[in-house]
Amino acid sequence: MFFLASSNISFPYMSTLTEGAKAPAISTTTDTGEPFTLASLKGKNVVLYFYPKADTPGCTKEACEFRDTSKKFSKENTVIVGVSPDKSAAQAKFKQKFDLPFTLLADEDHKVAEDYGVWKEKSMYGKTYMGVERTTFVIDTKGVIKKIFPKVKVEGHAEEVLAAIG
């Protein structure tokens, strides 16, 4: 948690995680509206990827790359989980439209994004706003962050992540 020197306002979304740190707990809902916890995946590697908005060009390309390599990830005892600030219904529609074989998490209050340090100030067309910075975390079977891919470039990203697991 960070504080401005001249006030009591805290900005929890400014935390930064490092490789080798324990992954923050996650408790939110899935694309089906079911409860989800990261702890439920203990014993598996987890690819936790954050994306700004379901069914937009870059996010669709990234999701489809993970979809197309999902069997390779399964062979490596790895589960793919996508996270965005979208509602469960939007996540479900996105998942169905592109036949995504993995769980998408609805992080409407952006708590998960804040806990992982990817809820950041962004700018577009001269306006600043808060949003998700496209980032991927590889979490090992014991819940430790093995690799962080900040400011992801979508093209070829899934294969890059797969290489980091093997």
pLDDT (0 to 100) of residue 124? 83
Q: Determine the average pLDDT of the residues in 70-78.
A: 97
At 8, which amino acid appears? N
Residue 73: domain span: 26-165
DSSP helix/strand/coil, 34:
coil
Task: Confirm whether 13 is domain-assigned.
Answer: no
Task: Confirm whether 6 is domain-assigned.
Answer: no
Task: Confirm whether 59 is domain-assigned.
Answer: yes
Residue 154 C-beta-side C-alpha neighbours within 13 Å: 16
Residues 89-140: pLDDT tens digits?
999 999 999 999 999 999 999 999 999 999 999 888 989 989 999 999 999 9
Q: Is 47 exposed, middle or buried (0-12, 13-18, 19+ CB in 10 A)?
A: buried
Does 32 have pLDDT greater than 70? yes
How far is residue 100's CA from residue 97's CA, in Å, rounded to a whole number? 8
At 3, is the pLDDT very low, low, confident or very high (cuts 50, 70, 90)? very low
At 146, is the pLDDT very low, low, confident or very high (cuts 50, 70, 90)? very high
How far is residue 105's CA from residue 156's CA, in Å, rounded to a whole number? 23
Does 6 have pLDDT greater than 60? no
Task: Confirm whether 91 is domain-assigned.
Answer: yes
Q: Determine the average pLDDT of the residues in 33-39.
A: 95
Task: Tell me how many domains the chain contains.
Answer: 1
Task: Confirm whether 8 is domain-assigned.
Answer: no
In DSSP terms, 149 is beta-bridged to 136
Task: Confirm whether 54 is domain-assigned.
Answer: yes
Task: Confirm whether 3 is domain-assigned.
Answer: no
Length of the chain: 166
pLDDT (0 to 100) of residue 15? 58
Q: Is 67 exposed, middle or buried (0-12, 13-18, 19+ CB in 10 A)?
A: middle
How many other C-beta atoms lie within 10 A of the C-beta of residue 123?
A: 9
Task: Confirm whether 156 is domain-assigned.
Answer: yes
CATH number at residue 158: 3.40.30.10
**Which residues are the active-site residues?**
59
pLDDT (0 to 100) of residue 68? 97
